[in-house]
């Protein structure tokens, strides 16, 4: 079989993304088969994005309801068109979009309960932790190093007024804090060299745009390593700005009391930092603590593992959507 060129693979990816208009959902069948157990249940899509997973969830539920969260106003606006017919049903709509970070699900639950809706018993939570193709390809928030834009990186943009921007962090944090961010969130081996270059640059002028940060990195990193270093550094500051890892862990633990028996958590991760957190939390939630001393009682695990080994995309899906290459799906069920 003749090997496809990079251009042909990219064209195939663009064709596939046009079907979804915004972001090509990853491992769609695998995640939905794990998530949907009750067609009348209450589900949360914590990362609405382009609505690819949400659209399929709606197809699979009957009188159930999906609460779809996204901090990105553009994603909420896009969903208003994508789900116009369903949203037009008002109180009978199977989808409710929530312009908020998924970490705020507790507040959303409380509001729905005040309106008399049965939100206290959740059937499933889906988290697709990848940055959407639209955010990467348009670059307006400074998330991608491929476009010149303000160093913002907040998923909610100016609506996240309580968060510091990437520029705030880069221009004000001390050396050790910046090194910690690059090492912990980016696993960047040249963290100290890059941070010292940032400190030197900011003494003469603040770094305000992605081009400013990129030029600092390009000054200290040789060409063969630049692309990967840029990706790691931008990832690190994005994670720090949005507190992505802390929010993820808090949400995985916090949703357990809201799940009913048989309720499931399904998470798609794309890099080792996220996956380690999901793996660690799921391991804790599925571990029974046996009594070891007289008078102690055995504490049974609240969850059971559904994916002893994470599910990964097929070669066909990777060809269709190269951004799926590093995806892993893990899932647990409440006992």
| CATH of the structural domain 6-133+245-334, one choice from 3.40.50.300, 3.40.50.150, 2.40.40.20, 3.40.50.720 | 3.40.50.150
Instruction: Give me the sign of the Cα torsion angle 291, 297, 299, 300.
Output: positive
Domains of the chain by residue range: 6-133+245-334, 164-242
What mean pLDDT value characterizes the chain? Answer: 88
Through-space distance between the first and last CA atoms of the chain, rounded to whole angstroms? 48
pLDDT band at 133 (very low <50, low <70, confident <90, very high): low
pTM above 0.85, yes or no: yes
Residue 266's H or E segment, with its range, is strand 259-269
Instruction: Report pLDDT for 91.
Output: 84
Give the mean model confidence (pLDDT) for residues 18-47: 85
Nearest by Cα to 166 from 144, 184, 196, 190: 144
CA distance 266 to 279: 12
CATH number of 164-242: 1.10.150.170
- Six-digit token string for 207: 């770094």
Q: What is the mean pLDDT of residues 19-41?
A: 85
């Amino acid at each position: 079989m003749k090997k496809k060129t990079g251009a042909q693979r990219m064209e195939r990816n663009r064709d596939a993304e046009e079907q979804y208009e915004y972001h090509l959902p990853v491992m769609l069948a695998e995640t939905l088969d794990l998530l949907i157990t009750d067609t009348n249940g209450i589900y949360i899509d914590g990362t609405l994005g382009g609505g690819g997973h949400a659209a399929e969830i709606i197809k699979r539920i009957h009188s159930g309801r999906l609460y779809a969260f996204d901090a990105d106003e553009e994603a909420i606006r896009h969903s208003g068109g994508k789900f116009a017919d369903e949203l037009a049903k008002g109180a009978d709509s199977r989808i409710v979009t929530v312009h908020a970070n998924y970490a705020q699900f507790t507040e959303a639950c409380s509001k729905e309960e005040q309106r008399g809706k049965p939100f206290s018993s959740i059937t499933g939570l889906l988290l697709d932790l990848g940055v959407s193709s639209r955010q990467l390809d348009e670059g307006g928030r400074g998330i991608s190093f491929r476009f010149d834009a303000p160093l913002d990186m907040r998923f909610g943009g100016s609506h996240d007024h309580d968060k510091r921007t990437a520029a705030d962090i880069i221009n004000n944090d001390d050396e050790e804090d910046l090194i910690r961010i690059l090492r912990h969130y980016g696993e960047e081996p040249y963290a100290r060299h890059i941070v010292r270059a940032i400190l030197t640059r900011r003494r003469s002028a603040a770094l305000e745009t992605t081009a400013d940060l990129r030029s600092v990195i390009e000054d200290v990193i040789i060409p063969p390593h630049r692309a990967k270093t840029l990706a790691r550094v931008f990832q690190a500051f994005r994670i720090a700005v949005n507190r992505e890892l802390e929010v993820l862990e808090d949400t995985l633990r916090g949703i357990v009391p809201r799940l009913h028996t048989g309720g499931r958590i399904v998470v798609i991760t794309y890099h080792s930092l996220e996956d380690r957190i999901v793996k660690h939390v799921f391991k804790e939630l599925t571990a029974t603590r046996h009594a070891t001393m007289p008078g102690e009682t055995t504490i049974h695990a609240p969850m059971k593992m559904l994916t002893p080994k994470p599910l990964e995309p097929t070669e066909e899906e990777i060809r269709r959507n190269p951004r799926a290459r590093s995806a892993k799906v893990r899932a647990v069920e409440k006992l």
